[in-house]
Amino acid sequence: MRELTYLEAVREAMSQEMRQNEDVFILGEDIGVYGGAFGVTRGMIEEFGPERIRNTPISEAAISGTAVGAALTGMRPILELQFSDFMTIAMDNMVNQAAKIRYMYGGKGKVPMVLRTPAGSGTGAAAQHSQSLEAWMAHVPGLKVVQPSTAYDAKGLLKAAIDEDNPVIFYEHKLCYKTKSDVPEELYSIPLGQADIKRQGSDVTIVATAIMVHKSLEAALELEKEGISVEVIDPRTLVPLDTDTIIESVKKTSRLVVVHEAVKRGGFGGEIASVIAESEAFDYLDAPIKRLGGKAVPIPYNPELEKSAIPSVEDIVAAVKETLNHR
């Protein structure tokens, strides 16, 4: 099977979907000839033209409002925000409008739209372009939240998100864009709410999201040298969340470490820990649940400080050992 980068997989999913469904179009800043802030839509305007690859003014409020209106009238817009930090400007349309309309009108109106946006740190983009705010969106009833970590997952989950009749927030970690994996040429769908066990293990369960999946797999390889078997679970979607896979894994390993890049305080790791605390898996725990997340600071511009603000492979290795050594 051929390999694609994560970025290419996202582009391919959109292109294939647009070829078979004329209701799908993309709107956002600089997505035409320039190809978007990270080049995800590069070349698409040549195939689909400016009517379906729509450059917009620099106004996330206007872009998101247009997408909500288009979705209500039967289109399936894909909205690109250049950085997930700009969600704050689109917040009213997403939280107060898109998320609620279907419920407020008794199902007579639906909002089938996808908001794609790059998130996370690691590119030196500093405090206003490097945040991980997915827990905000996961808190809002009516929104679905997707966080793929691999090219294969990105293509399949984006197809599912475009087909979804409810608004979906699709987070693409910037450091994942250049990562590669096997990706089928045909268009395929991965159901929202289906976690993936990226690595089987028996001693400790790690639940990790986005770029932290890759760091956790690297940590698992290090720990394997010491005879420690780590299971790594990627939820892939925060809403809906595949709780069954996480619970069954913890029942098997009796230990849980949750890793995400977003600030630990109020982060989604607390939700995953609560799922275990409220389930039958709680009785299987041999150690307290360990959460790793970003420090409660704005992401620094300085590269070394930027690295120190989020969990490292060494942090994950240490957390797993601490969990195993609990008495």
User: Which pair of structure tokens corresponds to residue 234?
Assistant: 């990627």
Considering only 45-49, 105-109, 202-206, which range has the smallest mean pLDDT? 105-109
The answer to whether 7 and 61 have CB atoms below 8 angstroms apart is no
For 313, phi then psi, to 5°, come to -60, -40
> Cα 176 vs. chain centroid, distance in angstroms?
11
pTM (two decimals): 0.97
pLDDT at 231: 98
Choose the catalytic residue: 129, 173, 214, 260. Answer: 129
| Alpha carbons 69 and 72: distance in angstroms, whole number | 5
Span 132-148, mean pLDDT? 97
User: Which pair of structure tokens corresponds to residue 101?
Assistant: 């309309």
Domains by residue range for the chain, with CATH = 2-183 (3.40.50.970), 196-325 (3.40.50.920)
Span 182-188, mean pLDDT? 97
| pLDDT confidence band for 17 (50 / 70 / 90) | very high
> Cα 76 vs. chain centroid, distance in angstroms?
20
Q: What is the pLDDT of residues 59-102, one digit of tens each?
A: 999 999 999 999 999 999 999 999 999 999 999 999 999 999 99
| pLDDT confidence band for 327 (50 / 70 / 90) | confident
Query: In terms of Cα–Cα distance, which of 14, 19, 17 is closest to 35?
Result: 14
| Alpha carbons 42 and 24: distance in angstroms, whole number | 17
The answer to whether 77 and 52 have CB atoms below 8 angstroms apart is no
- Give the DSSP letter of residue 300: P
- Give the DSSP letter of residue 32: S
Residues of the chain above pLDDT 70, percent: 100
User: Which pair of structure tokens corresponds to residue 203?
Assistant: 């001693």
Q: Are strands 168-173 and 114-119 parallel, antiparallel or unpaired?
A: parallel
**DSSP state string for 246-274:** HHHHHHHHS-EEEEEEEESTT-HHHHHHH
| Alpha carbons 235 and 302: distance in angstroms, whole number | 31
Residue 228: partners with Cβ closer than 8 Å, 6 or more residues away: 203, 204, 320, 321, 324
Span 209-217, mean pLDDT? 98
- CA torsion sign for 176, 180, 185, 190 is negative
User: Which pair of structure tokens corresponds to residue 306?
Assistant: 């930027």
Task: Pinpoint the alpha helices (H) of 169-210.
Answer: none
Span 24-50, mean pLDDT? 97
The answer to whether 205 and 256 have CB atoms below 8 angstroms apart is yes
Residue 280 has pLDDT above 90, yes or no: yes
314: part of which helix (H) or strand (E)? helix 313-324
Three-state secondary structure call for residue 68: helix
Span 162-181, mean pLDDT? 97
The answer to whether 256 and 177 have CB atoms below 8 angstroms apart is no
Buried-state track 201-230, b at ≥16 Cβ within 10 A, e below 16? bebbbbbbbbbbbbbbbebbeebeeeebeb
| pLDDT confidence band for 1 (50 / 70 / 90) | confident
For 264, phi then psi, to 5°, come to -60, -45
| Alpha carbons 85 and 120: distance in angstroms, whole number | 9
Helix and strand tally (H, E) in the chain? 12, 14
Q: Round to the nearest angstrom and report the end-to-end CA distance of the chain.
A: 47
- Give the DSSP letter of residue 90: H
Please say if 129 is a catalytic residue.
yes
Query: In terms of Cα–Cα distance, which of 160, 143, 174 is closest to 64?
Result: 143
